[in-house]
């Protein structure tokens, strides 16, 4: 007679999966002692009744249990939970590793497959031709990076291809010109930094992208790279040239670089700009890389501009909801963190919500437009600086862009 060895509600541990998760997460979830502070901190608890049970996911990572309900794809990698974890568990790193396992077991949301194919074929998550990468610069005289360039201006995929974000790319080019910076770009040769693939759990592909880009940058003589997006900046700072760079690797976010130019007296403002603004800290600049002051220093250097803080700012700032690959997934109405952030911005009485990240702009602008309430413009710090300098960010006519 056959004996039943597992009651119907027993949880069966899968040794092979357990070992696989241990390898993928590098044992990072092991110190978790299940206090639940992460679950209590996660912004998903503010927008959905169930929230996101981060604690349970960490337990599953420890035990090697499959998770098939898709919860792991909700994480925006905002790191709010990590800031509260008493055991220092790198929770978002574990989430990304769990996504890596989810690809292997085909538990992946619809749409991400097509996105990854777009990246393989076109080298960017927008699935746009590489030959159109520098279309944002049409009508501007943007120099190619060369031996006399002080910096490589790295525009990134989103500001290269998205029409709204191209205004930020154009603003920065105008600011560099106004400050007399000898900058250059790689034009259509500019590669994707690999951030979207990294956060979607495509570690093997990202290793190839990073290795190829390191070769390209080293051969071109790139030392100081100024990234428009905090997501690219985070990649360059934390995943590139980890074994050293022949001539010194200096990745900067543009806000850091503008603060340096202001401190050196190279970027000055003659005309006042009367504007009441509040600043949203992007997770990938603030919590993940500790860069809170540079964007504020830039804003404070503009005469006439008043900066007011939201109730939650700096390390406490609420995530916009667009990080960790969430930009590429649908978020149901009523579950958007950005709606809450926009309400916080409106509560300050500011007329403009400024930030320093294209992903944040996309999420916050949608919420500001669709949510009703007092008018609130959402713009990038680079656009504010360009306005203060009288630099135009307008795109040329469609005919000119298409040439």
Residue 384 binding ligand SF4, by CB under 6 A: no
Report the C-alpha gap between 96 and 203 in whole angstroms: 9
Q: Which stretch binds ligand SF4 (CB under 6 A): 89-97, 146-154, 175-183, 343-351?
A: 89-97
Would you say 51 or 187 has its CB closer to ligand SF4? 51
Query: Do 164 and 365 form a contact (C-beta atoms < 8 A)?
Result: yes
Shortest reach from residue 65's CB to ligand SF4, in Å: 15
Output the six-digit token pair for 81.
């939970």
| Strand partners for 275 | 305
CA angle at residue 199 from 198 to 201, to 5 degrees?
A: 70
Residue 70 binding ligand SF4, by CB under 6 A: no
Would you say 18 or 132 has its CB closer to ligand SF4? 18
Residue 76 binding ligand SF4, by CB under 6 A: yes
| String marking each residue 92-111 x if it binds ligand SF4 according to CB under 6 A | x--x----------------
Shortest reach from residue 312's CB to ligand SF4, in Å: 13
Residue 202 binding ligand SF4, by CB under 6 A: no
Shortest reach from residue 36's CB to ligand SF4, in Å: 5
Would you say 194 or 325 has its CB closer to ligand SF4? 325
The order of strands in the sheet holding 183-184 is 183-184, 151-154, 224-227, 250-253
Residue 363 binding ligand SF4, by CB under 6 A: no
At 92, give phi and psi (nearest 5°). -70, -30
Shortest reach from residue 326's CB to ligand SF4, in Å: 9
What is the sign, positive or negative, of the torsion defined by CA atoms of 384, 390, 394, 395? Answer: negative
Report the C-alpha gap between 214 and 72 in whole angstroms: 30
Q: Which stretch binds ligand SF4 (CB under 6 A): 9-17, 28-36, 246-254, 361-369?
A: 28-36
- By CB under 6 A, the count of residues binding ligand SF4 is 28
Output the six-digit token pair for 172.
């920065």
Residue 152 binding ligand SF4, by CB under 6 A: no
Q: Which stretch binds ligand SF4 (CB under 6 A): 38-46, 101-109, 164-172, 210-218?
A: 38-46
Q: Which of 20, 75, 85 is nearest to 51 (CA)?
A: 75
Using CB under 6 A, pick the residue from 21, 24, 28, 32 that binds ligand SF4: 32
| String marking each residue 223-262 x if it binds ligand SF4 according to CB under 6 A | ----------------------------------------
Q: Which stretch binds ligand SF4 (CB under 6 A): 51-59, 129-137, 154-162, 166-174?
A: 51-59
Residue indicated by tokens 């292997």: 104
Using CB under 6 A, pick the residue from 24, 61, 71, 79 that binds ligand SF4: 79
Residue 209 binding ligand SF4, by CB under 6 A: no
At 319, give phi and psi (nearest 5°). -65, 150
Using CB under 6 A, pick the residue from 65, 75, 96, 165 that binds ligand SF4: 75
Shortest reach from residue 59's CB to ligand SF4, in Å: 8
Residue 42 binding ligand SF4, by CB under 6 A: yes
Rounded to 5, what percent of the chain is helix, strand, coil? 45, 10, 45
Q: Which of 96, 284, 101 is nearest to 197 (CA)?
A: 96
Query: Do 122 and 128 form a contact (C-beta atoms < 8 A)?
Result: yes
Q: Is 246 exposed, middle or buried (0-12, 13-18, 19+ CB in 10 A)?
A: exposed
Q: Which of 40, 44, 29, 20 is nearest to 93 (CA)?
A: 29
| Strand partners for 184 | 152
| Strand partners for 353 | 278, 378
Residue 33 binding ligand SF4, by CB under 6 A: yes
Report the C-alpha gap between 227 and 152 in whole angstroms: 8
Q: Which residues bind ligand SF4 (CB under 6 A)?
A: 32-38, 41-42, 44, 52, 54-55, 58, 75-81, 85-87, 89, 91-92, 95
């Amino acid at each position: 007679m056959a004996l039943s060895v597992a009651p119907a509600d027993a949880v069966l541990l899968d040794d092979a999966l357990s070992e696989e998760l241990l390898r993928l997460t590098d044992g990072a979830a092991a110190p978790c002692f299940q206090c639940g502070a992460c679950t209590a901190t996660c912004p998903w608890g503010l927008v959905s009744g169930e929230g996101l049970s981060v604690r349970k996911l960490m337990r599953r990572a420890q035990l090697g249990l499959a998770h098939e309900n898709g919860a792991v794809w909700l994480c925006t990698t905002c790191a709010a939970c990590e800031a509260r974890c008493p055991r220092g568990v790198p929770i978002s790193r574990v989430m990304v590793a769990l996504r890596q396992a989810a690809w292997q077991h085909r538990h992946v949301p619809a749409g991400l497959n097509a996105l990854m194919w777009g990246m393989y074929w076109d080298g960017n998550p927008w699935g746009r031709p590489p030959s159109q990468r520098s279309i944002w610069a049409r009508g501007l005289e943007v120099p190619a990076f060369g031996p006399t360039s002080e910096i490589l201006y790295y525009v990134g995929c989103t500001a290269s291809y998205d029409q709204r974000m191209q205004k930020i790319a154009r603003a920065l080019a105008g600011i560099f010109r106004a400050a007399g910076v000898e900058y250059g770009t790689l034009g259509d040769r500019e590669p994707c930094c690999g951030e979207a693939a990294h956060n979607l759990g495509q570690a093997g592909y990202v290793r190839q992208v990073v290795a190829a880009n390191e070769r390209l940058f080293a051969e071109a003589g790139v030392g100081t790279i100024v990234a428009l997006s905090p997501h690219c900046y985070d990649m360059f700072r934390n995943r590139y040239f980890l074994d050293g760079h022949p001539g010194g690797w200096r990745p900067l976010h543009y806000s850091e670089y503008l603060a340096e130019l202001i401190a050196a007296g190279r970027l000055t403002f003659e005309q006042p700009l009367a504007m009441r603004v509040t600043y949203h800290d992007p997770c990938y600049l603030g919590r993940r890389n500790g860069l809170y002051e540079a964007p504020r220093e830039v804003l404070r250097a503009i005469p006439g501009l008043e900066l007011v803080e939201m109730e939650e700012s700096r390390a406490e700032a609420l995530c916009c909801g667009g990080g960790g690959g969430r930009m590429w997934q649908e978020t149901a109405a009523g579950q958007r963190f950005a709606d809450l952030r926009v309400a916080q911005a409106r509560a300050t009485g500011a007329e403009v919500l400024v930030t320093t990240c294209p992903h944040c702009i996309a999420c916050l602008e949608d919420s500001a437009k669709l949510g009703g309430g007092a008018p609130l413009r959402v713009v990038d710090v680079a656009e504010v600086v360009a306005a203060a300098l009288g630099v135009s960010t307008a795109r040329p006519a469609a005919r000119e862009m298409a040439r």
